[in-house]
Amino acid sequence: MRMKYTLPLVSGGIALSLALAGCSAAAAPQKDDGLIHVVASTNVYGDIVKQVGGDRVSVTSIIADPSQDPHSYEADAQVQLALSQADLVIQNGGGYDDFVGTLLKGANNPKVVLLNAATISGYDQKPATGGFNEHLWYDFATVKKVVEKVESSLTKLSPADASAFAARGSTFTSAVGELENTEARLKATVTGEGIAITEPVPLYLLDALGLVNKTPEKFSAAIEEGTDVSPVVLAETLALFSDNAVKLLAYNEQTSGPQTERVLAAAKKAGVAVVAVRETLPAGKDYLQWMTGTLAEISAALK
């Protein structure tokens, strides 16, 4: 899902309203606390930075509330205040959270370090066929690249803490490697199974498992863009469940509407397993716990 927002400004360039996905950012911490100040577009990236930076970083995640519908969000001036004080800003990129760049233009913070996961990934963001999948937190190879870049950036900002950042970065990278190992073991047993999605959010992970997405492209594209699905395409999607063509539905639980609710109901009626996918961290879990749980749910669903 690409975040949609409006950005009215008042004098001094302070953003008073920002319609994007998630919840209000925490109050910006003071700059005299001796910490590296980081602003992340979502708490997914905020958690990654915290895992690497430990107690040497103060992280403000703009989008953080797991209970919020990520289609609408109103921010106050604290968001731009946090950006104006940030040493490091990290965003997903790829058209997902363009609001970061818009707000940075008015933040008067020319020395800030900006990390963009889409750029770091090395993927072609304008492929000749199809569209770019910007949901990079489900791609473990990219996450490892992001961790490496976060570590090097924090080290440049605080060279005295280089060894601590390296140790924490190595630990986190190893844990992501274990997720890849789990992914590979699961792929050996589930490759070729048909699945359905409501949005392309989890496709990096599902593709890595060798699963076959049978959802009509026009359905998931319309849901992602917030437009209506045609009756014909909706009927084709619903038939996937009544015809037993899929064994799993990956359902974005943070965005719902009448058409996705019908798909969810059809899956449940047909006895098809439903695995929830998300765009922010679940309550009480960090990134590694979240992805470990997601892989476990997919494994159980496809047994």
Residue-wise DSSP of 177-188: HHHHHHHHHHHH
Segments of 79-146 assigned E as strands: 88-91, 113-116
Q: Please tell me which of 62-71, 125-134, 232-241, 250-259 the model is most confident about, judged by mean pLDDT.
A: 232-241
Q: Are strands 113-116 and 36-42 parallel, antiparallel or unpaired?
A: unpaired
The pLDDT > 70 percentage for the chain reads 86
Q: Does the structure show a pLDDT above 60 at 183? A: yes
**What class, spelled out in words, does domain 11-179 have in CATH?**
alpha beta
| Contact by Cβ (8 Å): 210, 190 | yes
* Average pLDDT value for the chain: 88
pLDDT one-digit tens code per residue, 279-300: 999 999 999 999 999 999 999 9
Rounded CA gap, 123 and 141, in Å?
11
Mean pLDDT across 144-150: 98
| Contact by Cβ (8 Å): 132, 94 | yes
pLDDT one-digit tens code per residue, 56-104: 999 999 998 776 654 455 556 888 899 999 999 999 999 898 888 888 9
What DSSP element (H or E) covers 94? none
- Sheet of 57-63, strands arranged across: 57-63, 36-42, 88-91, 113-116
Which of 28-37, 46-55, 79-88, 246-255 has the weakest average pLDDT? Answer: 28-37
Q: Domain residues of the chain, as ranges?
A: 11-179, 191-301
Q: Is CATH 3.40.50.620 the classification given to domain 191-301?
A: no
| Contact by Cβ (8 Å): 224, 199 | yes
Instruction: Between 156 and 11, name the one with better pLDDT.
Output: 156
Q: What is the band of 238 on the pLDDT scale with cuts at 50, 70, 90?
A: very high
DSSP state of 173: H
Predicted pLDDT of residue 65: 79
| Contact by Cβ (8 Å): 85, 65 | no
Predicted pLDDT of residue 103: 87
Closest listed residue to residue 219, CA positions, set 206, 238, 202: 238
